[in-house]
Structure 1
Amino acid sequence: MNYEFAYGIGFHPWEDAVEEPLFVERITQLFEEEERDREPPYGRALDVGTGSGIWGIELAKRGWQVTGIDNVEKALQRARDRIGTTGVEMGLVLGDVTDLRASGIDPGYQLILDTGTFHGLNREQREAMGREVDAVAAPDASVLMLTWEPKRRGPLPRGASRSEIEAAFPGWTVTDLGETHFEAPRPVELLLKPDEHWYRLRRG
């Protein structure tokens, strides 16, 4: 999907997830599980494909030291505006998720969040993203990844299976955490059948 074009014409329906109570409840539960038995500040979090920064900002509010990376300047400008209105601290990087280190992302992230980037990449890009995440993740890191189930959807993300995630992240244990509970508008749901799932990846 051409996200630069989408943001250029103001098309970003994925931002509507923040208005979906069940989706928000589920992602909040996942954040809480990563924070269990710990006190803020929780450590460094990397929001890959951050877009307008919605979920990176939520992590920052909770006590994470957050960096968001995206390759679309218009998306990052929306993120800057959001950060300005919320008053949180969150770093933003214009860069490529398949080449994190060249984009200035250094190692040591305890949490990596992907709310829809990996599942839109081709095989070579996924392998590159897996290598880069592995390089910048802390030894005890977790990855929280949202993907659609695989299906041809024209120019939209085709999705990714658990086995495809495992192939791109060798050495990580992948756990299917179930549906995201995002409720797309009925026509969109019938047309795309996203069947969104959360996955958790941990080393070992």
Structure 2
Amino acid sequence: MNYRLAYAIGFHPWEDAAADPPFVAKAAQMFDREELGRQPPYGRALDLGTGSGIWGIELAKRGWQVTGVDLVEKALRRAHDRVRSASVEMKLVRGDVTALGRAGIGDGFRLILDTGAFHGLQPEEQIAMGQEVTAVSAPDATVLLFVWPRRIRPLIRGAYRSDVEAAFPAWEITDVEPSHFSLPILLEVILRPDEKWYRLRRKLSFELINR
């Protein structure tokens, strides 16, 4: 999907998810799980393809130290406005999710959130993104990956579970859960969503082998 064009013409229906109670409740449940038994600040969080910063801001409100990365300048300008309005601390960086090292974001991220970048990439880009995420994540990190299944549809390419596994060999998929995301009826018919949340954790065995 051409996100630059989408933001240029004001087409960003994914932002409506923030006003979709079932989706918001599910996201909150997943964040709660990562915070269980801990006290804020929870550590570094990375919001990949942050767009206008909606979910990164939510993490910042909860006590995460958030960095949001996106390539689209107009989206980042919207994110800056949202961050100011929310009165939270969130670092916003222009960068490519397939080249995080060049973005200079640092490392040690304990939570990596992707609400729609991965499933729009080509296979080689997905592999690159997985490698970059692994390079900047902490040993005990979690990835929360929002993925639409691959099928013929406009706008969103989608991805299979096998695509996730191929891109993240250093990680284990611990959970695959429905997101409860809903769309206006016309977009439901056109896009045929059946999206899932994938939860991934670093593999200890992989870490030991590759030391």
TM-score range relative to shorter protein = over 0.9
The separation in 2 between residues aligned to 1:10 and 1:103, in whole angstroms, is 26
The separation in 1 between residues aligned to 2:174 and 2:16, in whole angstroms, is 26
RMSD after superposition: 0.8
Runs of 4+ in 1 over 2 A off after TM superposition: none
SS in 1 for 2:143: strand
Taking only the aligned residue pairs, the percentage that are identical comes to 63
Structure 1 gaps of 5+ residues are none
* C-alpha deviation, 1:157, in angstroms: 1.5
Aligned length in residues: 203
- After superposition, give the CA deviation of every residue in 1:16-73 in whole Å (9 maximum; x if it has no partner): 0010000000000000000000000000000000000000000000000000000000
Matched, 1:191 2:170: no
The separation in 2 between residues aligned to 1:159 and 1:132, in whole angstroms, is 20
**What TM-score comes out, normalization by structure 2 length?**
0.95
Write the letter of the residue equivalent to 2:144.
Answer: L
**2:175, 2:200 within 8 Å by CA — same for their partners in 1?**
no
* C-alpha deviation, 1:174, in angstroms: 1.1
Report what 2:89 is aligned to.
89
Report what 1:180 is aligned to.
179
Matches within 5 A, 1:40-55: 40-55=40-55
Write the letter of the residue equivalent to 2:74.
Answer: K
- After superposition, give the CA deviation of every residue in 1:135-182 in whole Å (9 maximum; x if it has no partner): 00000000000010111223x121111111000000210134311101
Structure 2 gaps of 5+ residues are 204-211
SS in 1 for 2:198: strand
The separation in 2 between residues aligned to 1:177 and 1:37, in whole angstroms, is 22
* C-alpha deviation, 1:106, in angstroms: 1.2
SS in 2 for 1:102: helix
**2:41, 2:64 within 8 Å by CA — same for their partners in 1?**
yes
Write the letter of the residue equivalent to 1:34.
Answer: E
* C-alpha deviation, 1:107, in angstroms: 1.2
Report what 1:104 is aligned to.
104
**2:47, 2:69 within 8 Å by CA — same for their partners in 1?**
yes
The separation in 2 between residues aligned to 1:87 and 1:127, in whole angstroms, is 36
Report what 2:131 is aligned to.
131
